[in-house]
Structure 1
């Protein structure tokens, strides 16, 4: 199967890739990265053979997963498997060439032509490599990563780091680039008395150490086996990576109002930097890098090999459910959404987290009330439940359900993949903003009116406030706006494969419009969550990093002086052209 796919890659992709890349890539200067397959700079077969001899696994040659269905008359791979799993986040993460959003497997040229590989073979579009890196290292050890980094540095390659490919900014792909794939680094260890390297022996943690490829479903299982809770991401099947972009971008969770963000629970990182050094970063060793890795963004400071998280005791939780399938009038929608937003900061103060799916037509809230009795939870939500029941004449679904642990909620509702949810396997782009608490408290009606005016389905993440707001804003590299936020709001646009470039551009304009409306609501200091955001932020430095940007940049210059690691809208990316291929003059 591997050889058949490799032959397919060589026969189908190569000719189109050579002609297209040579038309857009100029590596005549070292200011530009060497991109495949520029023969004037690209490493030779012998060079790659030398690299292969230094790593523990054969080199990988990623292809779009849909390529298994081509040619349509005689598929090169198991097309039925691809069709069955195309919306499964865990399956997609197991494919080196798959991104969770397939639009980031696609490359659109300046002239409007597309290089892509569509699952729907009847579209008659040739299957091409698109934005998927053509070669990389299947890293299993820190030494593998060190060899890959040294190789990329020597040959001036553009590096992309991929664990699972969950990325709304496309940071895990890059046309003609060199992939470091960390997905198969799966080691997990637990210590009830973890001492950070270089730290005092009397400062210990109940800690879970996760290698770079561990996903949240694996981390939750490990925490449960030790009767602990770990603050992590929520996605169908738990497919998001636990030691990659999620944590480096901040890492929000339904547990954040009680225990803080991911960065507030990170005790220690190990990371390979562009020099090839394998460093430990914590409060005692390389504290500046430790600060930057907690919020400065993934793919920017190096390649993580592990993250160690503080864990928490198990506790009972209450699931809060509210569903209004159809608003009868805009006035009803406005009143209910406004009341929810008004109450949301007080819920966060209690440590409650959750997600509200809001549109002009419907409302759904799934919340988690930790460390409280069923009676107390019911008493807390009764005023809102009564308000909704009265406004909907009793047609809404209102419920509270007790669970023994967070893990039992997770396994009941989220441990299996829900096909097509969370945008996995669909082309999409986002717009988002953090909603300041003072805005919610002063003008919740305006907040709800603005959100409903977007005339789209959006997600109001109740993942801020509470414990998040109690952390010193300057204790991590995370945007300080998080510490003043009540919620994180995100919405987006999506399109089916085969959509014309002109129609995609129209949808992108709609997404840009969402950004403008949200910016008008929260102001320039509102900020946004780097992991779930727009590709078109006019001032990404301020939006994603706030007044921490200059310090984050200085730390990057120290640990990555040559700028080997650069991602879309990441720290230092303004020094590069839009394609992240050439340094600006």
Structure 2
């Protein structure tokens, strides 16, 4: 019945898409920001809002502000210096993003409003792009009050959970933030029933996560019940489990086995622009449910909870391999072999993440429910190939295969440390690489990757991901044909000159041209993508874009919720403040 319903609405949407997406253009005025006192709410208005909240209003500051003024720091500057790259530390602050370049605002003349960790640069601390005021949401009513207040005052709204975002969608200069990080309820239910279900016997083993739950918390709760949940991997498990990760698709090292995050969602709850709190599943608000699974975070409202299907706990085999060489040809040859054999590795059950930088390669893979002898047999040809390259100067630092009693044990060993991986200025690009390219164009894939300089390949597609109906969720259908999700990036130091930042961005743009030429009919993963895609709507959402826009127009007709590159953003200026 559900498949028939989806088919009917997919047929109907093209007939109404042009009319409904036109309504996304109709907002006549700019959003109000704190820089405009003529429209910004009064102190009395904010005080009235605060009386309707369960906790006081927050006034976010840049995380390095504790180090200023330099002559007499206002806070614990040593804490800032020690934890700058700690993802959990950053997530705990409403004014901190995981990538600090999104805390900075760049003016048209190239100058920056920023608050740098490196105080020796000699600049004062400024607010930059950090929101100036917001709501520390502890319950649904807080979000409803925040949304009603912001929409009635035409404020620029941003939604922040942990700030893990390569597009800067969790912040905006002069904005009003709804911070969901403190909503930490999570509940396991071995016999969960969907709201609105006509079948009283329809039950699921499920875990309900409120908006602020992070993956380290979700994994621990699932483990208590001898279950696993498809989720993200990051240092310390700091990524939010019920926010932008799943709304953008949600890739996981468990995806080839059990599908993407969106494929495992049973039910979601959301506060929309009207302030209504809706339940979305296959029976209730099913069009919104379709959209929230892959249509992008921060675009349709504020998600307050996500309920995921859980799976039985399992044993896993982990492998870690690293090698380097002064001979670039040896490294390139090894990369080509990895690319050539990736379909075989995926089919055998391996999934994971690989990285390349200059003349160094390393990868971290996992195989669920396998014997050690089988895992060894599937990897031995690749390891032998690498060993043969030692005659050409390749140095193998590690080639380990380790059994674990559970996924949670592997996760705790590999990813429980929150330090590192955050706190750097970075821009990235990405692309989904279709499986059919690996049949006869694997050398082209390897060449493009190697020439990117700094890159990663994420073996998180194929398997179950490719078996699911592309139209079952709002996610870009390109995911169902992909084998790898490839990313590449450029970084720059604090205080870098505008020309140096522009040069880094130019390299990203060159990389985008290369991956698009390699796979012109594919797309990119919205959560890990570039601000500089020439066709962001087509690249991020593919053939589903018009349907997504039509549903946004239904639930957010005034475009109260906008993010960089998101549905409806093409009708607004680069700051998403004024309509074009």
Report the Cα offset of residue 123 of structure 1.
1.2
Mapped contact 1:352–1:367 kept (Cα < 8 A)? yes
Alpha-carbon distance in structure 1 between the residues aligned to 2:329 and 2:103? 42
Following the alignment from structure 1 to structure 2, what is the Cα–Cα distance between the partners of residues 43 and 180? Answer: 16
Which of these residues, 31, 34, 39, is aligned with residue 32 of structure 2? 34
Structure 1 equivalent of residue 81 of structure 2: 83
Deviations 1:104-123 (A, max 9, x none): 00000111221000111121
1:355-504 alignment to 2 at 5 Å?
355-393=353-391, 395-396=395-396, 397-419=398-420, 421=421, 424-454=422-452, 456-504=453-501
Counterpart CA distance in 2 for 1:58 and 1:334 is 56
User: 1:448: Cα distance to partner?
Assistant: 0.4
| Structure 1: distance between partners of 2:109 and 2:444 | 42
Please say if residues 258 and 350 of structure 1, whose CA atoms lie closer than 8 Å, have aligned partners that are also in contact: no
- Give unmatched runs, 5+ long, in structure 2: 1-26
Using the TM superposition, give the Cα deviation of residue 280 of structure 1 relative to its aligned residue in structure 2, in angstroms.
0.4
- More displaced stretch, 554-563 vs 360-369: 360-369
Matched, 1:519 2:516: yes
TM-superposed deviation, 1:30: 4.8
- Kept in 2, the 8 Å contact 1:350–1:466? The answer is no
The alpha carbon displacement at 1:124 in A equals 1.1
Aligned pair 1:192/2:190, yes or no?
yes
- Asked whether the equivalents of residues 83 and 419 of structure 2 are also in contact (C-alpha less than 8 Å), the reply is no
Tell me the distance in 1 between the aligned counterparts of 2:328 and 2:502. Answer: 30
1:493-533 CA-partner distances (Å, limit 9, x unpaired): 1111111112111111111111111111111x210000000
Q: Tell me how far apart the structure 1 counterparts of residues 147 and 321 of structure 2 sit (CA, whole Å).
A: 49
Shift of 1:471: 0.5
Q: Do 1:258 and 1:352's aligned partners in 2 also have CA atoms closer than 8 Å?
A: no
Residue 297 of structure 1 corresponds to: 296
Aligned to 2:331: 333
- State yes or no: 1:560 paired with 2:556: yes
Residue 83 of structure 1: how far off its partner (Å): 1.0
* Count of equivalent residues: 550
* Other structure's SS at 1:354 match: strand
In the alignment, is residue 582 of structure 1 matched against residue 574 of structure 2? no
Could you tell me how far 1:319 is from its partner in structure 2?
A: 0.5
Q: Does residue 70 of structure 1 match 2:68? A: yes
**CA-to-aligned-CA distance 1:438-460 (integer Å, 9 cap, x gap):** 11222101110111122x12110
The aligned counterpart of 1:265 is: 264
Q: Tell me what 2:543 maps to.
A: 547
What is the distance in 1 between the residues matched to 2:318 and 2:515? 30
Report the CA distance between 1:348 and its aligned residue. Answer: 1.9
The TM-score, its normalising length taken from structure 2, stands at: 0.93
Q: Which residue of 2 aligns with 1:207?
A: 206
Residue number in structure 2 paired with 1:315? 314
- Distance between the aligned counterparts of 2:315 and 2:343, measured in 1? 22
Paired with 2:368 and 2:110, the residues of 1 have a C-alpha distance of: 51
* Cα shift readout 1:133-166 (whole Å, capped 9, x = no counterpart): 1000000111100000000110000100000000
| Mapped pair 1:510 → 2:507 | yes
- Deviation, structure 1 residue 248: 0.3
SS in 1 for 2:101: helix
SS for the counterpart of 1:494 is strand
Distance 1:124 1:380 in 2: 55
Out of 55-64 and 79-88, give the one that drifted further. 79-88
Separation of aligned partners in 1, 2:556 and 2:419: 40
Report the alpha carbon displacement of residue 395 of structure 1 after superposing the two structures with TM: 4.4
Question: How far is the alpha carbon of 1:344 from its aligned partner?
Answer: 1.1
CA distance in structure 2 between the aligned counterparts of 1:138 and 1:294, rounded to whole angstroms? 25
Larger mean Cα displacement after TM superposition, 243-252 or 504-513: 504-513
Alpha-carbon distance, 1:328 to partner: 4.4
Q: Distance in 2 between matches of 1:311 and 1:350?
A: 23
Q: Which runs of 4+ in 1 moved over 4 A?
A: none
Alignment partner, residue 23 of structure 1: none
Deviation of the 1:323 alpha carbon = 1.4
**What CA RMSD, in Å, does the superposition of the two structures yield over aligned residues?**
1.2
Is the CA contact 1:52–1:59 (under 8 Å) kept in the aligned structure 2? yes
- The answer for the alignment partner of 1:229 in structure 2 is 228
CA contact (8 A) 1:351 1:467 kept: no
Residue 103 of structure 2 contacts residue 130 of structure 2 at CA under 8 Å; is this kept in 1?
Answer: yes
CA distance in 2, matches of 1:177, 1:526: 34
Q: How far does residue 196 in structure 1 lie from its aligned partner after superposition?
A: 1.0
> Which structure would you say has the larger RCO, counting Cα contacts within 8 Å and 6 or more residues apart?
2
Paired residue secondary structure (1:136): strand
The separation in 1 between residues aligned to 2:202 and 2:376, in whole angstroms, is 39
Query: Separation in 2 of the partners of 1:112 and 1:367?
Result: 42
Work out the CA distance in 2 between the residues paired with 1:155 and 1:37. 14
Residue in 1 that maps onto 2:52: 54
Question: C-alpha distance in 1, partners of 2:503/2:454?
Answer: 18
Alpha-carbon distance between aligned partners in 1 of 2:395 and 2:372, rounded to the nearest angstrom:
23
- The offset of 1:330, in angstroms, is 3.0
Q: Which moved more, 1:327-336 or 1:198-207?
A: 327-336
Q: Distance in 2 between matches of 1:329 and 1:69?
A: 44
- How far the C-alpha of 1:367 sits from its partner, in A, is 0.4
Any idea what the Cα deviations from partners look like across 1:349-389, whole Å, max 9, x if unmatched?
A: 23321111123401111100101111111111121122111
Task: Give the drift of 1:327.
Answer: 2.5
